Structure 1
């Protein structure tokens, strides 16, 4: 093996930088994995955390994890985890986001054709109103 070459899962790379480019990580990640003897796990992501995720129900909506719930409403997972683990009430804005999400999930599915027809009707109504103002 050449000086500075790194072998990960049977593939030898000329340098840590080349390996990092191949796996989409930083050079420092390669060096840390080598120091820990875990080069075979480079570029695979955090695989252990999904087994610790617990289902959570917030405002009547069930999610596989707090992170998934936070992503669904666009808030910080750490803030939501702190509130749910401590049984703190949600703030009014966060509660409103979850309520809106729940209302969306209960709403009947609308076909793209119906959405297009409604938009077309709004445009036609706006044009009629515009013409009515012009010809008065």
Structure 2
């Protein structure tokens, strides 16, 4: 199972000039080989950016992307990593959702498709990252 980060999903949904094509190809390739899932943090972040009342999951279901809720262990890991980030002097532009996505991918999936690879490499060592290249 492969988790999908908000950044990649937003690229696809808004048709980003630089990253949409690479992100779409990356997700398409992942769907050929495995299940692709989003957790509640991704659903909330992306739904908030949509200019429609249509459910994000209604848009994703036909593509084969499904919802997988965050487990308790992943929520706890996210909290610990967020605390570590703050202790190391991390600034507020990083939100808890980033840590929820990373912990979900690390503990409940086999990989994460993201463009924010530097952050996830630092805080979720050992997590396999799939990075779309524009």
TM-score, scaled relative to structure 2: 0.19
